[in-house]
Chain A
């Protein structure tokens, strides 16, 4: 317990203060409660007394009023007064009862008894007697003006009461009523006084209590103040003293004096802790100081030693710097050599000769240098560094120059000579020259020389070794470059060849997986132009294939074929497919490129077979059309002949059938002729039997014939010129031409309309226009209209029969007569075919001037 107090400053004082505070608080509370109770009891008693006095006063007043009422009745016979008085009886009794229950003192009890007696007397005696007297007065039994005592006493009620001994007879008043009244009045007075005195007592007591409370309050404050003075001040004084001791000690410590706080250090509280820390601090400070002094001595010694070392280092550094300079020089040298080797190895060596010779000069510590190339004819080409014209001329032209000698001897040649000139050095000097031949490694012929010049010393052994090795490198580099150039040329040639062929080619290199393509591939697959060529260059075959397959319509065939490329099952056949929804038909085949028994790559070739496919399609279409066209007349001939053979027919029918058979045979003949014409045209063996022909009557005849065979169409010939429309033509062929054009006009205007033929003269030609109002020709078909086997394929024309030969035959005939045919058409409105053939005169003139 004692220890606990010592551990912390102020713990004792705090405990004392808190205890006192608790005692003071409890005591005050108890006192306060006690006094408060006392005060409250006093106040209650005062209230009780006041109430009693009030009630007495009220009671008395009421009784007085009763009395007056009774008297009033007695005097004036006012019965209402009497009734009011008797009604008050119960109330009066109640008040008395209250007093009886509330009384606490002897005097109170007596007083209550007096009141009860008075009440009994008043209401048992006075009121009944008075009532009877008044009754008798009213009845007239009593007539006296003043109340006579005797009369009262003689009243039966009074008589009975006197007999009972409840009242005494009084000769003056009849019955004694004043006695009780006086008694009760005096009792009331006494009681009042008693109350007043009691109130005094209670009040005094209340005041005393109040005084005591005030006294206690002042006392408690005073005692608290005293306690603070008593306990706290000495405590504070004690603590302050301890701290001020510490402060003094620290001041002393600052001044470097010895401090002793041993007594204080033993304490367990904060002061003790502080003192101990202080003590430790003081000791540490002393130790440090000692230490520093020692250190200082040591440092001084070290410094001296360092100065000595520094001097030594400076000497070493100088030495090192010299070595470094040397190394840097060597390094530079090496770097130059590296650069030189790199330059020689790089692709651009051709343009890098000045750089090469410059580096060579630096490395060999020369003044001047040159690369002299010798071509097959023996002429020199010089790339030099520091070589002036004079030296250059001397070198190349002089018979004694090292170069000439080296060329002759085909080996390295050195020379040294004294130069009297003062240029470029300001005094005569020696000039050391060397020329090292560079051999072509393939045939050992000399292709160049390395020429170097020094002014001061000879070339050392090492330098000569360098130069020789450069010569070897240069020769290899030149060879490599020649090979590279050759390869580039070859490659360019191959590329040009590949680009110039019509087929698209993809080459997949097996060793590098690189893909090479030629230009036609880009033309075949324009989609590839959307991708940058750089991206494409880096792509593998797989990526290329994915790009190509996107455009292929038969992607599955394409994939299946290309899947086999790198397997055992290499495809030796070809595959055909269309791209861009039939825009182009391609045939693809693959070849393995085998060099020395090893497969080096795969070549894929894409051939554009669109036109071949188209021709194939046209041909098969043509055959199908021909077959259809042939079958119709054949059906008629076959059918009618069968009927004629197998059935009995009337004569007219037989005749009709025969006629039909005849015309159908004729139709067949035309078809076959058309077909033969085409064949002839294709072989170029068509001959024309020309003659002078006025075409107007020919055309007119034909129109008449057509008019007869078609009811839907109206025909018109416009030939306004008076001159005859004379041509130099094969009549049969001309008729065939016109017949084709007219039958087309009829066929392709299935809803009828007007067909006009217009003949006209121009300068040297006659034009024939055949115009219809039919379905017309779509503009995209106009270009191909005169192609063999071509037929416009749309819903309007599909059902119209034809061989697709009529117009090609027409064109052939017109061209055969040095003419032209063309067409103008608006779809759904009609077409106009315009034939222009030289007039007879012009044609003959031409035929005469043109040598056969």
Chain B
């Protein structure tokens, strides 16, 4: 079973993504902030990590930066879901090790398709 972590501080958005992906049969963990997200990634080997950028505790980028230094987490696929959509933000995210960059607002069905492509 494909394991996915969703780190998003906005409850409403968390619900949106969760509902959409659960229908597709993925096993999903939730994190409400950056610190929790980092802890979960440290403990579990996810097939995909979806992070928001603006989160309390630690930003998404900070989480990924730390995660990439963990043993066995260099290859973990990371998708960033963010309201920041400027090219400079994308470049910055790429450099840190974000594999996919989705800007808000986004289409949940499109997201499902992309994730399907990634974890297949």
Instruction: Give, as a whole number of angstroms, the nearest-CB distance from A659 to chain B.
Output: 10
User: Does A638 make an interface contact (CB < 8 A)?
Assistant: yes
Say whether A635 faces chain B, with CB atoms less than 8 Å apart. yes
The answer to whether B109 and A646 touch across the interface, beta carbons within 8 angstroms, is: yes
Name the B residues within 8 Å of A646 (CB-CB): 109
B83 touches A636 (CB 8 A): no
- Of all chain A residues, the one with the shortest Cβ separation from B106 is A635
Instruction: Pick the residue among B58, B83, B109 that contacts A642 (CB under 8 A).
Output: B109
The verdict on A723 contacting chain B, using a C-beta distance below 8 Å, is: no
> Is B20 within 8 A of A627, CB to CB?
no
The residues of A that contact B84 with a CB separation of less than 8 Å are 624, 628
- A628-B84, A631-B83, A631-B104 as given contacts; A639 in contact with B16, CB under 8 Å: yes
Interface pick from B36-44, B49-57, B70-78: B49-57
Tell me if A638 and B106 are in contact (CB < 8 A).
yes
What 15 additional pairs, Cβ within 8 angstroms, besides A639-B16, A639-B105?
A: A624-B84, A628-B84, A635-B13, A635-B104, A635-B106, A636-B12, A638-B106, A639-B13, A639-B107, A643-B109, A798-B59, A799-B54, A799-B56, A799-B59, A801-B54
A519 to chain B, nearest CB (A): 41
What separation, in Å, do the CA atoms of A704 and B44 have in the docked complex? 40
User: Complex Cα distance A798/B33, Å?
Assistant: 13
Chain A residues near B116 (CB, 8 Å)? none
- Can you show 29 pairs from A to B with CB atoms below 8 A apart? A624-B84, A627-B83, A628-B84, A631-B83, A631-B103, A631-B104, A631-B105, A632-B10, A632-B13, A632-B104, A633-B12, A636-B10, A636-B12, A637-B105, A638-B105, A639-B16, A639-B17, A639-B105, A639-B108, A640-B16, A642-B108, A643-B19, A646-B109, A653-B19, A750-B56, A799-B34, A799-B55, A799-B57, A799-B58
- In the complex the two chains form, what is the Cα distance from A640 to B16 in whole Å? 7
A664 CA to B103 CA, complexed, in Å: 18
Could you mark each residue 72-114 of chain B with 1 if its beta carbon is under 8 Å from any beta carbon of chain A, else 0?
0000000000011000000000000000000111111100000
A633 CA / B54 CA spacing, docked (Å): 14
* Interface check B15, CB cutoff 8 A: yes
A-to-B contact residues, CB < 8 Å: 624, 627-628, 631-640, 642-643, 646-647, 653, 660, 663-664, 750, 798-801
The residue on A at minimum CB distance from B57 is A799
CB-contact partner of A634 in B17, B54, B104, under 8 A: B104
**Smallest CB separation, B101 vs chain A (Å):** 14
Pairs of residues from A and B, 8 with the lowest C-beta to C-beta distance, nearest first: A631-B83, A635-B105, A638-B105, A628-B83, A635-B104, A631-B104, A639-B16, A799-B56
Q: A628-B83, A628-B84 are in contact. Are A643 and B13 (CB under 8 A)?
A: no
In the bound assembly, the distance between CA atoms of A628 and B15 in angstroms comes to 19
CA distance A624 to B85 in the complex (A): 10
Main secondary structure of the interface of A (DSSP, over half): helix
Minimum C-beta distance from A203 to chain B (A): 131
Determine whether the beta carbon of A643 is less than 8 Å from that of B20: yes
Assembled-state Cα–Cα distance A631/B16 (Å): 14
A372 to B106 alpha-carbon distance, docked (Å): 97
**B83's contact among A632, A653, A660, A663, by CB below 8 Å, is which?**
A632
A653 to B19, CA, bound (A): 9
B56 to chain A, nearest CB (A): 4
The reply to whether A639 and B106 contact each other, CB–CB distance below 8 Å, is yes
How near does chain B come to A635, taking the closest CB pair, in angstroms? 4
Residues of chain B within 8 A (CB-CB) of A642 are 107-109
In the bound complex, how far is the Cα of B105 from the Cα of A4, in angstroms? Answer: 139
> In the complex, what residue of chain B is closest to A661 when comparing beta carbons?
B12
When the two chains form their complex, are residues A660 and B59 in contact, meaning their CB atoms are under 8 A apart?
A: no
Verify B12–A638 contact, CB threshold 8 A: no
Question: Smallest Cβ distance from A814 to chain B, in angstroms?
Answer: 29
Q: Closest chain A residue to B10 by CB distance?
A: A632
State the Cβ distance, A588 to closest chain B Cβ, in Å: 28
Residues in B14-68 with C-beta less than 8 Å from chain A? 15-17, 19-20, 23, 34, 54-59
- The CA-CA distance from A636 to B10 in the complex, in Å, is 10
Residues of B within 8 A of A663 (CB): 12
* A750 and B59 alpha carbons, distance in the complex (Å): 15
Q: Hey, which chain A residues are within 8 Å of B109, CB to CB?
A: 642-643, 646-647
Contact of A636 among B13, B34, B57 (CB under 8 A): B13
- Give complex CA distance A801, B16 in Å: 20
Q: Could you tell me the distance between the alpha carbons of A663 and B59 in the complex, rounded to whole angstroms?
A: 26
What is the minimal beta-carbon distance from B62 to any residue of chain A, in angstroms?
10
Distance, CA A640 to CA B10, complexed state (A): 14
Nearest B residue to A624 via CB reads B84
Residues of B within 8 A of A632 (CB): 10, 13, 83, 104
**Which residue of B has the minimal Cβ distance to A627?**
B83
Contact A643 B105 (CB under 8 A): no
Shortest Cβ gap from B90 to chain A (Å)? 15
Nearest CB of A to B64, in Å: 15
Q: Shortest Cβ distance from A644 into chain B, in angstroms?
A: 11
B15 engages A660 (CB within 8 Å): yes
Q: B115: shortest Cβ distance to chain A, in Å?
A: 14
Residues of the A chain whose Cβ atoms lie less than 8 Å from the Cβ of B58: 799
Residues on the A chain within 8 Å of B59, using CB: 798-799
Q: A650: shortest Cβ distance to chain B, in Å?
A: 11
A750 to B32, CA, bound (A): 12
Closest to A646 in B: B109
- A245–B16 alpha-carbon span in the complex (Å): 154
User: Within 8 Å CB of A801, what residues of B?
Assistant: 54
Residue among B19, B34, B57, B107 making CB contact with A638, cutoff 8 Å: B107
Shortest CB distance A790–B (Å): 18
Q: Which residue of chain B is the closest to A628 with respect to CB atoms?
A: B83
B103 to chain A minimum Cβ distance, whole angstroms, is 8
Residues of chain A lying within 8 A (CB to CB) of residue B12:
633, 636, 660, 663-664
Among the interface residues B57, B104, B106, which one has the most CB atoms of the partner chain A within 10 A? Answer: B104
Assuming the A-B contacts A628-B83, A631-B83, A642-B108, are A636 and B16 also in contact, with contact meaning beta carbons closer than 8 angstroms in the complex? yes
Write the chain A residue with the least CB distance to B111: A639
Residues of A within 8 A of B103 (CB): 631
